């Protein structure tokens, strides 16, 4: 993740890396803001009925609240707990019980406080909107309106967690862990959906049979980069997490098992991709390459967060890279996938549902109208009277 510089250039290299990282981050944030503003403008202000625009605005607003909660949790994890713990009237609730106290306990409890408040806020809204299928239902305002009141309640919910003991949130952490696994599965499904859409989009530009077209070659290049990166990163994982340089009695077998399992899984997916092209030519290798890279990075993020058998954490600070960089990237991916689901996938599903609602009355009217009488031969309307 970070450049490893040796010798007398270490301090200068670290400074240059920090400056370069800040510049790249600034450019990335600027580009991201421009993209986000354009996307929000198209999403909220695009063509559509009033109901569609109201629903789009609601999704974007909820996404904004999710981003704010994520940033607050990140700040609490890295900066705030130690400072707030010095406040006398807060320290009693913020401190961890003696049997669970650890250097990271207070920070972990802070993150769980934010998660619990955010979940409780959305659970209340979800129960309030049960059965409210359209904007004509008065209770739809709980989902699409009253933003001033809901924002105030959202803020008070997060603030109120500071006055609750840490024990409750540490117990809530087990539920959060189970839900986190489900959220990770949802991320994988959303990522697969996005990758397949990307793959089909590039194939359509050349045509399925034009395998030598520029877009097919681009897909081949992306696939090669994805597989190469995933395999290379897997090799580094064995080096970084396959043994311990500190406590030699530490057992790293579980980490080796997961690294090997991940490697076997994405090799199996690659083999299945070759087979799938026989009955679905539009699949190709690019989806499996990107999914393999995604799985390997998620495994890296999980192992990086562990202290045991973590050569990077046990090594000199020069080799650690920016603190929390892997976790930050992982959180960023989760936020982007949540935004993709909330704004684009949900929007397309809503548009399809609206089209079906618009067509349904016409179909009912046509099915209710009587069919014209026909002759036995079915050649046209029956004659009103015989003879002529």
CB-hemisphere CA count at 13 Å for 317? 3
Residue 247: per-residue pLDDT = 58
Q: Is 290 exposed, middle or buried (0-12, 13-18, 19+ CB in 10 A)?
A: buried
Q: Is 247 exposed, middle or buried (0-12, 13-18, 19+ CB in 10 A)?
A: exposed
Return the structure tokens found at 166: 């840490």
Is 374:381 a contact under the CB 8 Å cutoff?
A: yes
* CA 139 to each of CA 54, 128, 228, 324: distance values in angstroms, whole numbers, following the listed order: 14, 7, 52, 42
Q: Rounded distance, CA 223 to CA 199, Å? A: 10
Closest by CA position to 276, among listed 261, 291, 258: 291
Is the pLDDT at 342 greater than 50? The verdict is yes
Is 309:243 a contact under the CB 8 Å cutoff?
A: yes
Instruction: Identify the sign of the CA torsion 221, 222, 223, 228.
Output: positive
Q: Where are the alpha helices (DSSP H) in 79-136?
A: 80-84, 88-94, 105-128
Q: Rounded distance, CA 318 to CA 297, Å? A: 22
Name, of 15-19, 77-81, 174-178, 341-345, the range with top average pLDDT: 174-178
Is 236:304 a contact under the CB 8 Å cutoff?
A: no
Q: Rounded distance, CA 60 to CA 30, Å? A: 19
Closest by CA position to 233, among listed 136, 301, 138, 317: 301
Return the structure tokens found at 371: 């069919």
Section 90-114 average pLDDT: 76
DSSP output for 9-47: GHHHHHHHHHHHHHHHHHHHHHHHHHHHHHHHHHHHHSS
Is the pLDDT at 156 greater than 90? The verdict is yes
Q: What percent of the chain has pLDDT over 70?
A: 59
Of residues 159 and 367, more confidence is placed in 159
Is the pLDDT at 294 greater than 80? The verdict is yes
Here the contacts of 258-261 (C-beta below 8 Å, separation 24 or greater) are 258/299, 258/303, 259/234, 259/299, 259/303
Residue in the block written with tokens 């993150």: 111
Is the pLDDT at 318 greater than 50? The verdict is no
Is 174:84 a contact under the CB 8 Å cutoff?
A: no
Task: Look up the pTM and report it.
Answer: 0.61
CB-hemisphere CA count at 13 Å for 309? 18
Residue 143: per-residue pLDDT = 81
Q: Which of 102-106, 217-221, 296-300, 330-334 comes out lowest in average pLDDT?
A: 330-334
Closest by CA position to 286, among listed 298, 278, 296, 277: 277
Q: Which of 24-28, 215-219, 274-278, 319-323 comes out lowest in average pLDDT?
A: 24-28
Is 187:333 a contact under the CB 8 Å cutoff?
A: yes
Q: Which of 85-99, 120-134, 231-245, 348-362 comes out lowest in average pLDDT?
A: 348-362
Of residues 55 and 344, more confidence is placed in 55
**pLDDT-based confidence at 259, cuts 50/70/90?**
very high
Is the pLDDT at 119 greater than 70? The verdict is yes
* CA 15 to each of CA 22, 156, 228: distance values in angstroms, whole numbers, following the listed order: 11, 41, 30
Domain boundaries, the chain: 50-164, 178-360
* CA 27 to each of CA 38, 211, 255, 333: distance values in angstroms, whole numbers, following the listed order: 17, 36, 36, 18
Return the structure tokens found at 325: 């960089």
């Amino acid at each position: 993740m970070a450049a490893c510089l040796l010798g007398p250039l270490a301090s200068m290299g670290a400074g240059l890396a920090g400056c370069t990282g800040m510049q790249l981050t600034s450019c990335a944030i600027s580009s991201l803001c421009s993209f986000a503003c354009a996307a929000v403008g198209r999403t909220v202000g695009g063509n559509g009925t009033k109901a569609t625009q109201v629903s789009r605005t609601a999704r974007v607003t909820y996404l904004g609240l999710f981003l704010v909660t994520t940033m607050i949790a990140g700040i609490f994890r890295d900066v705030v707990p130690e400072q707030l713990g010095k406040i006398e009237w807060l320290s009693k609730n913020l401190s961890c019980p003696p049997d669970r106290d650890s250097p990271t306990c207070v920070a972990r409890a802070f993150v769980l406080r934010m998660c619990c408040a955010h979940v409780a806020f959305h659970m209340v809204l979800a129960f309030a909107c049960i059965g409210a299928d359209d904007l004509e239902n008065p209770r739809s305002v709980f989902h699409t309106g009253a933003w001033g009141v809901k924002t105030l309640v959202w803020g008070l919910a997060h603030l109120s967690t500071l006055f609750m003991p840490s024990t409750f949130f540490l117990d809530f952490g087990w539920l959060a862990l189970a839900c986190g696994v489900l959220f990770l599965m949802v991320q994988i499904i959303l990522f697969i959906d996005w990758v397949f859409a990307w793959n089909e989009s590039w194939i359509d530009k050349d045509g399925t049979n034009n395998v030598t077209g520029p877009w097919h070659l681009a897909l081949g290049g992306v696939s090669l980069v994805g597989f190469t990166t995933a395999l290379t990163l897997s090799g580094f994982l064995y080096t970084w997490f396959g043994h311990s340089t500190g406590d030699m009695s530490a057992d790293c077998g579980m980490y080796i098992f997961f690294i090997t399992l991940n490697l076997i899984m994405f090799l199996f997916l690659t083999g299945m991709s070759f087979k799938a092209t026989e009955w679905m030519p539009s699949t190709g290798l690019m989806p499996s390459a990107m999914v393999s890279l995604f799985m390997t990075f998620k495994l890296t993020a999980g192992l990086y967060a562990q202290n045991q058998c973590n050569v990077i954490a046990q090594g000199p600070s020069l080799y650690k890279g920016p603190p929390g960089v892997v976790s930050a990237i992982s959180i960023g991916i989760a936020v982007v996938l949540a935004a993709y689901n909330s704004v684009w996938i949900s929007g397309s599903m809503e548009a399809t549902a609206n089209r079906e609602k618009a067509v349904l009355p016409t179909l009912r009217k046509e099915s209710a109208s009587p069919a014209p009488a026909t002759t036995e031969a079915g050649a046209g309307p029956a004659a009103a009277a015989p003879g002529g």
